């Protein structure tokens, strides 16, 4: 782990969150900029860059129910930061006392803090990205939010997990994910920015766009507001999502790649409102692709996500093709447009008849009976679900 910390540093600790939250409430209505006095003071106290501190103030603003509309800030605050915010927001006098104690401890590094016993290690990811929050874990890597200290823009960085660094197959998958993303340019596929492939073999990592939420999180948020009613999304929004992800999958297929794990957790919404496909840990090049990999997948590794994985993924994970992703898109159609919870049961389904025909063809157990391409799938979907409204 020493090597990983040297390369990427550490995400924010609870101690840092408490101090930052104290500054947030104290200067909540004041201007936020890397050159603002209280931002620079806080950066000096924490040993973080002013850009990271500004981002943290924005994150807190996104949770603050009392903030003015023009001070709402940016989302993407990790679970520890959220817990600190909600634990302390109604106890600001106690927060001030605790933060002042922690600030004094910071000024005396020989004192061991209850919150953070080790000194902060300044991140050096690619010499420009400072880690903020741990926001998710995958089978091979961990995703953190980060800030580009030069441009002040927020991104996500995926770093291979320490327990996977000596697993040849996982390292290969991680490298393949980087190559696939680096070669893909489509508005509905998560955008890749840079990686250290070929430079850092022990703890490889890559930088990509930072999303606001996954489709699974978005649907859960909507259901929390309206009750557990499905379908929970308006037909227009559901259609937009389905078209976007189907287009992204189609672009991958044209590039000779299949995803093999299309599901709501891997469908993300960007701050721009676009929906993109992410997490290419199970993706592979098709044999016909010019960059086809000769790597052989062990049969016990990764079948995909329950209900979304096509039957052939369980029978022989190596022998999958574009129709495997078509099956997953059929399941996505079910998720977006039916009242019933998965697994799907077509008996008594409330899915519109035109969409039901598409669903049934997309999820045939025999892959040869499914749509051959996303183009054919979308052609039928557009006929059943015209862009101007529901069927």
Cis? peptide before 265, omega within 30° of 0: no
Q: Do 360 and 270 sit in the same domain of this protein?
A: yes
Catalytic residue flag (residue 261): yes
- Cβ(62)–Cβ(77) under 8 Å? yes
Final residue belonging to a domain, choices 193, 208, 223:
208
We report the CATH number of the domain holding residue 380 as 1.10.510.10
Q: How many domains does the chain have?
A: 3
Catalogue the E-assigned strands of 50-170.
129-137, 141-148, 154-160
Last residue of a domain, one of 189, 208, 227: 208
| CA pair distance 301, 312, nearest whole angstrom | 14
More confident call, 314 vs 389 = 314
Contact yes or no for 304/260 (Cβ under 8 A):
yes
- More confident position, 316 or 220: 220
Dump pLDDT digits (tens) for 106-128: 776 555 454 554 544 555 678 88
Q: What does the alpha-carbon distance between residue 136 and residue 28 come to, in Å, rounded to a whole number?
A: 28
Report the side by side order of strands in the sheet with 129-137: 129-137, 141-148, 154-160, 205-208, 192-195
pLDDT of 249 reads 98
pTM of the model: 0.80
Residue 235 lies in a domain: yes
3-state secondary structure of 54: helix
**Same domain, yes or no, for 262 and 344?**
yes
In angstroms, the CA 80 to CA 237 distance is: 31
Section 206-223 average pLDDT: 93
Domain boundary residue among 107, 137, 157? 107
Q: Considering the domain boundaries, does residue 137 fall inside one?
A: yes
At residue 303, the pLDDT reads: 61
Domain identity same for 342 and 251: yes
Q: What pLDDT does residue 346 have? A: 67
Radius of gyration of the chain (CA): 23
For the segment 243-272, the average pLDDT, to the nearest whole number, is 95
For residue 95, give the nearest of 161, 203, 15, 37 by alpha carbon.
15
Burial grade of 144 (CB within 10 A; 0-12, 13-18, 19 or more): buried
Structural domain of 173: 129-208
pLDDT of residue 347: 64
Q: Is residue 45 domain-shared with residue 157, that is, in the same domain?
A: no
pLDDT at 352 over 90: no
* C-alpha dihedral sign at 124, 126, 128, 129: negative
* pLDDT value of residue 123: 53
Tokens standing for residue 18: 């408490």
Is residue 170 scored above 50 in pLDDT?
A: yes
Per annotation, catalytic residue among 133, 209, 261, 279? 261
């Amino acid at each position: 782990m020493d090597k990983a910390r040297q390369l990427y540093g550490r995400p924010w600790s609870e101690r840092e969150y408490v101090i930052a939250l104290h500054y947030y409430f104290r200067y909540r209505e004041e201007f936020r900029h890397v050159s603002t006095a209280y931002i620079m003071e806080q950066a000096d106290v924490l040993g973080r860059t002013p850009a990271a501190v500004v981002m943290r103030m924005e994150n807190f603003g996104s949770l603050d129910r009392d903030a003015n509309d023009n001070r709402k800030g940016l989302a993407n605050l990790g679970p520890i930061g959220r817990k600190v915010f909600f634990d302390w927001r109604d106890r600001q006098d106690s927060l001030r006392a605790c933060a002042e104690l922690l600030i004094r401890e910071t000024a005396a590094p020989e004192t061991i803090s209850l919150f953070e016993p080790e000194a902060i290690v300044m991140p050096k990811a690619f010499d420009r990205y400072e880690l903020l929050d741990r926001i998710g874990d995958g089978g091979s890597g961990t995703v953190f939010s980060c800030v580009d200290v030069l441009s002040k823009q927020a991104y996500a960085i995926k770093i291979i997990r320490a327990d996977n660094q000596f697993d040849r197959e996982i390292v290969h998958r991680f490298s393949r994910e980087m190559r696939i993303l680096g070669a893909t340019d489509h508005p509905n596929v998560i955008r890749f920015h840079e990686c250290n492939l070929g430079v850092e073999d022990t703890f490889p990592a890559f930088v990509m766009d930072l999303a606001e939420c996954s489709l699974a999180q978005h649907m859960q948020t909507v259901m929390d507001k309206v009750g557990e009613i499905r379908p929970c999304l308006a037909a227009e929004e559901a259609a937009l999502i389905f078209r976007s992800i189907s287009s992204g999958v189609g672009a991958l297929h044209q590039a000779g790649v299949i995803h093999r794990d299309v599901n709501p957790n891997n469908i993300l919404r960007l701050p721009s409102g676009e929906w993109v496909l992410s997490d290419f840990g199970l993706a592979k090049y098709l044999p016909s692709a010019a960059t086809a990999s000769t790597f052989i997948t062990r049969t016990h590794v990764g079948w995909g996500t329950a209900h979304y994985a096509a039957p052939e993924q369980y029978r022989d994970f190596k022998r999958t093709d574009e129709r495997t992703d078509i099956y997953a898109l059929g399941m996505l159609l079910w998720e977006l447009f039916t009242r019933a919870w998965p697994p799907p049961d077509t008996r008594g389904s409330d899915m519109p008849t035109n969409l039901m025909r598409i669903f049934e063809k997309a999820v045939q157990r025999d892959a040869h009976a499914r749509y051959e391409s996303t183009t054919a799938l979308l052609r039928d979907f557009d006929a059943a679900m015209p862009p101007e409204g529901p069927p």
